[in-house]
Amino acid sequence: MSIFIDKETRLVVQGITGRDGSFHTRQMIEYGTQVVAGVTPGKGGQRFDDSVPILNTVERAVSDEGANTSVIYVPPAFAADAIFEAADAGIEFIVCITEGIPVLDMMRVRPYVMEKGARLLGPNCPGLISPGKSKVGIIPGEITHAGPVGLVSRSGTLTYEVVHKLATSDIGTTTCVGIGGDPINGTNFIDCLAAFEADPETEAIVVIGEIGGTDEQEAARYVKEKVTKPVVGFIAGQTAPPGRRMGHAGAIISGSAGTAEEKIQTFEENGVGVAQRPVDVVGLIRDVL
């Protein structure tokens, strides 16, 4: 199985005619994702690459094409409104790739989406992929391989590195999820851990964290209390100086709780094996499978 997306996912692309939206729509279609519609206000009635209908609203994508999932490639100034529109239209799963969305916007968006009963992944994330089933976002399909490991990561680049190492080691993944590194996002480590725990095909889980905040510590404690499957992890930013933002907007150390050392210690105290380098994740996974 997989989490959040599968072969039944019916995707609408918000911002399908933009540079990023059009490029990645072609990649998703080539991978086998069911892209049933695109939305660009004012361009309704056209078709993308002579196949995907372009509509003016997400509501039409739901009512006319049966869309149940949305991926958003629109500029930061309009991304919050795009998320609101998807939630209002009844989309069950919203993936926002856009980076640079103001924190104030996300403070309004997150509770609204939850109130509507939808799930938001992102913003500022690479999306997710279930190898051989569906991909929503920008994770390259060619670096993945189906297998028994669930992977959740705050870092897009490290997501690619680790999932590729697992694939080339003949281990593979059930689903690879990039949750994004912004201070406020829609889906966190614990959400993904719970989903992987419930997935019968996921036999082990990889958690890739980074400096800043306390999400990794909370995830580690959740693992000890609720997760029966083996979990291994890696923390990025071990050499980052305190007080300086490294990479994601949420990756800033403010006090001891956000340091790599504190996160690694909490992982180890709660039974999560910690890799010293991203490549070492493969060895830790082999040990627990």
Q: Which residues are catalytic?
A: 248
Q: How far is CA 198 from CA 16, 127, 229, in A?
A: 33, 20, 10
Is residue 125 within 8 Å of 176, Cβ to Cβ?
no
* Cross-strand pairs, 11: 35, 69
3-state SS string for 77-127: HHHHHHHHHHHHCCCCEEEECCCCCCHHHHHHHHHHHHHCCCEEECCCCCE
Cross-strand pairs, 38: 13, 54
Q: Which residues contact 198 (CB under 8 A, 6 or more apart)?
A: none
Q: For residue 238, with 0-12 CB atoms within 10 Å meaning exposed, 13-18 middle and 19 or more buried, which class applies? A: middle
The arrangement of strands across the sheet holding 134-137 comes to 134-137, 127-130, 173-178, 146-153, 204-210, 231-236, 273-274
Q: Where are the alpha helices (DSSP H) in the chain?
A: 19-31, 58-65, 76-88, 103-115, 156-168, 189-198, 215-226, 260-269, 280-288
> Is 76 strand, coil or helix?
helix
